[in-house]
Amino acid sequence: MRCWCSSATPSRRSTPSAAATCSPTSARPGSPTPSRRSPPTSAATTRWSRRSTTCSTTLSWATPRSPSTPSRPRGPPTTTACAACPGRRSSCGRCCAPTSARRPTPSPASTPSAAGSPPTWPSRYAASSAPAPRSATRTPGRGGDLTAGHIAVLAHTRRDLEQVRTALREAGVPAVITGGQSVFSTDAGADWRALLEAMAQPHRSRLARAAGITAFFGLDGSDLDVGGDPLTDRLSEELRDLALTFAGRGIAAVFETLVSRGLSERVLGTVGGERHLTDLRHLSELLHDAATRERLGLSGLIAWFLDRQREATDATTERTRRIDSDAHAVQLVTIHGSKGLEYPVVLAPSLADRFVGRQAPAVLVYHDDDRERVLHVGDPDARPAALVARHHQEDAGESLRMLYVAMTRARSRLVVWWAAGNNVPHSALHRVLLGRVPGAAGVPDRLEPPSDEDTVRWLRRWADPDIGGPDLARAEPGEPPPLPTRPDPGPLAVRTFTRPVDLLWRRTSYSALTAVAEDPPAVGSEPEVVEKDDEPEIAVPAPEAAAVTPVPSPLAPFASGARFGSLVHAVLEHADPAADDWYAELLRHVTEQLVAWPVALDPEALADALVTVCDSPLGPLAGGRTLRQLPLADRLRELDFELPIGGGDTPVPDPRVLGDVAGLLRQHLPPGDPVLPYAAALADPALGDQVLRGFLTGSVDVVFRVRDGDDERYLICDYKTNWLGPADEPLTAAAYTPDRLAAAMGHSSYPLQALLYAVVLHRFLRWRVPGYDPERHLGGVVYLYLRGMCGPETPVVDGVPCGVFSWRPPAALVVELSDLLDGARVGGAS
């Protein structure tokens, strides 16, 4: 789309074609030709054969009459003809369900206004959506009982659907708006807003009474009127208690307190209660997450909630959750949202209602002569009339496309309505049915409704069975039929839980396995993106080491911390080393990632430091290459895994414990191996006695593919930004010599991480690499301590550069560890 604000006059554009529709006269040659001002049409459509299923259609019409004209007596419900049984004028009861046309005939007082349908139509129309007694209806084409879940109601806007939902619930019919509504814009959102505002100011009687009529307290206007000031005072006192609960234990405790006072029973006792209670609980979880993550008090939480309500759209990620009972309710769907879907029975009550204002819109949307979409934001008073006309023509054409979508959603039955009113002339249904003339393919953009007599005459032509037209029925006011009685469920009792629960099964991670000594938080949330939690600052005793040149660390100016580590990880993950300007590439990603990981630093300084880091040698396991010399094609970044341990979903009867890994280390690692001392750490019961049953989850920073001629091996890499040098001295490469890194590994749980990641890579390559050989393809593990990587001048000790911890575990150790995690007794495991 481009934005246009000039006054160029477009060429004339042809009227939108309606090739997908047909007029009765064109379908039946020789039939009487209607006048050019043919009457507006009612909800009608022809029969379609879609997927070998015949769809029958009911066309209901209503015309205005003067108040003095007596109301016509209401006859029995009109049923549609069975499209699958030629010659029948009523439902056969086997392949289609009778549909009653019960939309009222509007009087002048209820004629649709220019702004839309009359506010009373949803409640009157609700009778058409109420399923009739089971003895009278069968599921179309399926032979089962017709229920609310088989019916869909289509409308142009969500506001219309909300009116229908309200009317259906008042009639006792469950209904749900589908399509991903924001949970903040639901009735539950209004209830939470009223409760939070009243908790913040419980002394204000207006707010206390507003909270009283929410689902949280279950009162109504009559209760407040009868209870008077004493009831208001009691509400204020309860709100003060809830505010104290929030201050001491959080919003989750507030919700559970209300549940203990009968919230669930009260809400579930209403029509649509399961949907409402689900939304209330969903919002409580979102509020709790926001309060704990952003450390919000009550006032801050209210401000956060109001912002979410203002920003709520159908595109929001916080959509209402689907529940089982939604499948048994009438589906309320916008026409646009119904694209590609199909329903047994479709009701479209508002297709004859389309409001088009007399004034041109502030912004015009159309296609220019080159078929490029234009958004015209020029001065409304200076716009050429031709542009306005083009906008209206395309808008009218779009309404025809939406009509096609609405009238092709039904599998077995489609019911549409037509009624004269101010909004009828622009409706696509009215223009298609009454605006076509024989031999013409175009549909007028606007058509005034003809007289009542001409309308009825025209609609009867459409209903001619010889041309396969719809069944025609006059819509009359009516009350919803009685709802089918539910069978007596019999005596109810609490179900006895007899299935044993495997308390040893769990979904864990490397961080969780090594954090057993810490007290887990009592209440917490699970954000989708978390900071790196595997880089603790470790005080490492400095071993005796060979003297190295104290090359300054390029990352020394930047403070340590989990957020800084996450920032650097994200930059190295996304930056492309093949970029023409490596510095510009790093700077762009630093700037982008600072939005997600805000740190007070100079982006240009960090990008410059990372250039130096990426030019540092990675050691012999990587063939002396640098990060810049390993292209993205040879990197598998953020290898997420979910590793079954102890049988996974099918647990082994006798699982292993984490301490069994110690026996494998002692069996396969030679003396002096930097990982061997970790076997002693596994003797700690808190760490070693953990049962390995369930799933191990995590993510490997990157796997490198290192090529040497025709041979290739795979190398695990993990980035670390730990500060290992003294805090009061300049940080240099001397703090990251291989022996110091080995000591740092020994004083942490990184050896366990390296072992687990090696098993992850082993299993991954075993599934993906033809002719996989652990001895040849497992290249080892490198931990890159980025603060010790100082570019080409990085000191090298015994062939290994500073800042790089290199370790290649024996292939037999990795294979047996994989088997041990599966639950087998192997090697030196006890």
Q: Which residues are catalytic?
A: 718
Please choose, from the candidates 134, 133, 179, 172, the residue with its C-alpha nearest in 3D space to the C-alpha of residue 152. 179
Among the listed residues 359, 395, 378, 427, the one whose alpha carbon sits nearest the alpha carbon of residue 112: 427
Q: How many degrees, rounded to 5, is the angle at CA 396 between CA 453 and CA 458?
A: 15
Distance of CA 332 to the CA centre of its chain: 19
Smallest CA-to-CA distance from 347 within 330, 364, 368, 327 is with 330
Residue 348 backbone dihedrals phi, psi, to 5 degrees: -125, 85
Buried b (16+ CB within 10 A) or exposed e, 146-155: bbbbbbbbbb
CA diameter of the chain: 110
Report which residue type is found at 254: V
Residues in the chain: 830
The DSSP secondary structure of 688-700, one letter per residue, reads HT-B--EEEEEEE
Amino acid at position 556, single letter: A
Q: Which residues pair with 705 in a beta bridge?
A: 714
Q: Is 16 helix (H, G, I), strand (E, B) or coil?
A: coil
* CA dist., res. 631 & res. 637, Å (int): 11
- Contact criterion met (CB below 8 Å) for 366 and 387: yes
Inter-CA distances, 473 with 58, 78, 103, 122, 420, Å: 7, 6, 10, 19, 15
Q: Measure the CA dihedral 800/801/804/807, to 10°.
A: -10
CA 427 distance to own-chain centroid = 33
Between the alpha carbon of residue 65 and those of residues 109, 349, 350, 444, the distances in Å are 10, 20, 20, 27
How many Å from the N-terminal Cα to the C-terminal Cα in the chain? 68
* Among 548, 457, 596, 474, residue whose Cα is nearest residue 793: 548
What is the Cα–Cα distance from 276 to 484, expressed in whole angstroms?
23
**SS3 label, residue 193:** helix
Side-chain half-sphere CA neighbours of 641 within 13 A: 26
647 sits in the region (left: phi over 0; alpha: psi -120 to 50; else beta) called left
Name the residue with tokens 């490997």: 700
- Are 802 and 545 in contact by the 8 Å Cβ rule? The answer is no
CB neighbour list of residue 141: distance below 8 Å, 6 or more residues apart:
53, 95, 96, 344, 411, 412
Q: Which amino acid is at 345?
A: V
> Which among 194, 154, 200, 146 has a CA at the least distance from the CA of 177?
154
Q: How far apart are CA 111 and CA 159, in angstroms?
A: 19
**Which residues on neighbouring strands pair with residue 702, listed in sequence order?**
637, 717
Determine contact, residues 50/411, Cβ cutoff 8 Å.
yes
3-state secondary structure of 798: coil
Q: How many CB atoms lie within 10 A of CB 262?
A: 12
Q: Is 127 exposed, middle or buried (0-12, 13-18, 19+ CB in 10 A)?
A: buried
Q: Do residues 364 and 376 touch, judged by C-beta distance below 8 A?
A: yes
3-state secondary structure of 152: strand
Q: Two tokens at 269?
A: 């006792």
